[in-house]
Amino acid sequence: MLTFKDLGLEPTLIQAVEDLGFQIPTDVQKEAIPLLLNKNTDLVALAQTGTGKTAAFGMPLLQKIDSDSKHTQGLILSPTRELCMQITKEIQTYAKHMPKVNVVAVYGGANIQDQSKKIKKGAQIIVATPGRMQDMQRRKMVDIRKIDYCILDEADEMLNMGFYEDITAILSEAPKEKNTWLFSATMPSAVAKIAKKFMNSPKEITVGSKNSGSKNVSHEYYTVSGRQRFEALKRLVDAHPTIFGCIFCRTKRDTQRVAENLIEAGYNAAAIHGDLSQNQRDTVMNSFRKKQIQLLVATDVAARGIDVDNITHVINYQLPDESEIYTHRSGRTGRADKKGVSIIIVSQSEQRKIRSIEKLIQSKITHKTIPDADEICNAQMLHLAKKLSDVEPSDSAEKLLPSFLDQLDNLSKEDILKRLVTVELDRFYNYYSGKAKNLDTPKKDFSDDDSKSKVSKKDEVRYHINIGEKDSYDWRTLKDLIKGTLGFTSDEIFHVDVMKNFSFFSSGPEERDKVLEGFKSINIDNRDIEVSITEKFNPGKAKKLKSRDRGGSFSRGSSSGRSSSGRSSSGRSKPNPFKFSNDKKSSDKRRRS
């Protein structure tokens, strides 16, 4: 069996690999590492997500640079800040026995002076997002005139995000003689174009078939009528009680909305998308990594390249426009030899897309029906039984048991068990045997939208309200307040952004007068509530002010934060939304609703 040593890596790197516990190199590592070590060549390497591409370029790069010299020799460009930090950390780990090597991350939304200082100390390797890199070039904080290696990581995604011009501009300062290594999961024509433009007869490595998915992932799809997408999602989640999943939506707005609706329905979910500030995104990602969040609802861009282990399910709440993106999504699961499931929710009219994805991933996508009440309750029952049989009785249980039994001394053991099952499972039975029993069978339903997205961005009316975080509101309690005051439903009010001293929210155009009227002469704790229409935070406009990879620094709020622990029926007590209370810590404030 081929080992890392056989690839020609030096002892310091072998040591790091051993420390990490990597046993054998992955396919792309087997091919790329010896090639890059032995030759000065340009390279295009295609391998699906999760196959260890970072090490495939990171290790040869570390071995090839001159660590005695302090000038910048390698530049790695990556599409997002998260990925940039992740690559930096990973390469630093590989370099842990190379004390003279300095790897510096350069990304938007963090202090540019700090990054500049780190580079001044001598950074042989810089890992950068395109926006911040250009900023630093303009300010002469980086010098790439003597780099030997340039790596374009997740090249397909960089191009998806429209970084073509930025890459061109950045590389115009780099020397012609450098080697360029391009790593990508898929090879759309834009990547072929970039290879042609920036590279000199590159070697090509393809692991697996181009654009194909992981063998560990099984694919299934469910047809629903457009209106019932969310209902279907809940059923799929309830039928998989141990799910640790990533749910993909097409737009930031849908992402936010689906997460909010899940949270309101008691699920342990959070959203991640480009409208969140960097800090908020970090918080969400960290909580997800630690499994404090069970369901992460994400846009493709925000979730890109992020390496979270043990994701059991990927759910395509909506299909992406381009089929290649599907392979990225499903690549979030089935990593490191674990099995994963990629679920697609489609409307009747989208079924033909399934065929084209099947072709691309060269694998069948099985048609399944949305689980019914019995299946869901059965799954929940099995889960409960397994939990009970697996749990190690604790000391405190031992202590509490006598008085617990005292309270129940008129009940038989069987009665107690029946009641336990009732307490734990009846909410599922009740919910799914009630009005939610049957999902419509999708007939001719070409409406692809949930009812809630009826309001187009253009028509969205945005309001300013003089209540904020300082009044102990988060998006949820503020949304409750607004709904309560106006007698509105959840869908009529959306995009609640809580700022420190004030907040924003939106409605459709029909609700406009009702909103403005409804808040006239409303007085809470002796304060007049003022609501007015605002233009300022029109997302479309705000966006234009920003360079792409600083997406979140405008700080448009977050749906970050902790969620309550799963679907506990007890729920947590919400503060009375009609009362200001200053004692409630807004630690779980979520911005946008």
Binding of ligand ADP at residue 26 (CB under 6 A)? yes
Distance CA(272)–CA(305), nearest Å, equals 14
If we measure between CA atoms, which residue out of 523, 460, 550, 417 comes closest to residue 128? 550
Distance CA 561, CA 427 (A): 26
**Which of ligand ADP, Mg ion, none binds 482 (CB below 5-8 Å, type-dependent)?**
none
Residue 506 in the binding site for ligand ADP (CB under 6 A):
no
Q: What are the Cα distances from residue 13, in Å, to 16, 39, 94?
A: 5, 19, 6
Bridge partner list, 522 = none
CB nearer to ligand ADP: pick between 26 and 555: 26
52 touches which of ligand ADP, Mg ion, none (CB within 5 to 8 A by kind)? ligand ADP
Out of ligand ADP, Mg ion, none, what residue 51 binds, judged by CB under 5 to 8 A for its kind, is ligand ADP
Contact pick of 53, 273, 452, 592 for Mg ion (by CB under 5 A): 53
How is residue 199 annotated by DSSP? Answer: -
- Between 337 and 406, CB nearer to ligand ADP: 337
> Are the CB atoms for 474 and 588 separated by under 8 Å?
yes
Q: How far is the CB of 191 from ligand ADP (least distance, A)?
A: 15
Dist CA 323 CA 317 (whole Å): 14
Residue 28: partners with Cβ closer than 8 Å, 6 or more residues away: 45, 47, 51, 52, 53, 56, 205, 207
55 binds, among ligand ADP, Mg ion, none (CB under 5 to 8 A by kind): ligand ADP
Q: Could you tell me which of 154, 35, 33 has the C-alpha nearest to residue 87?
A: 154
- As given in the structure block, the two tokens for residue 161 are 């995000």
287 binds, among ligand ADP, Mg ion, none (CB under 5 to 8 A by kind): none
180 binds, among Mg ion, ligand ADP, none (CB under 5 to 8 A by kind): none
Q: How far is the CB of 303 from ligand ADP (least distance, A)?
A: 12
CA R_g for the chain = 26
Q: Of residues 33-92, which lie at the interface with ligand ADP (CB under 6 A)?
A: 47, 49-55
Contacted by 307, from ligand ADP, Mg ion, none: CB < 5 to 8 Å by type: ligand ADP
**Which one of 25-33, 69-77, 279-287, 538-546 is the stretch in contact with ligand ADP (CB under 6 A)?**
25-33
Of 50-58, 352-360, 368-376, 458-466, the segment contacting Mg ion by CB under 5 A is 50-58
Residue 284, burial from CB neighbour count under 10 angstroms (0-12, 13-18, 19+)? buried
List residues bridging with 344 in a β-sheet. Answer: 221, 316
**Residue 139: helix, strand or coil by DSSP?**
coil
Q: Is 22 in the site for ligand ADP (CB under 6 A)?
A: yes
Q: Which of 211, 161, 152 is nearest to 183 (CA)?
A: 152
Q: Residue from 10, 220, 307, 375 that binds ligand ADP (CB under 6 A)?
A: 307
The answer to whether 27 contacts ligand ADP (rule: CB under 6 A) is no
Judged by CB under 6 A, does residue 188 bind ligand ADP? no
Task: Please report, as ranges, the residues that interact with ligand ADP according to CB under 6 A.
Answer: 22, 25-26, 29, 47, 49-55, 307
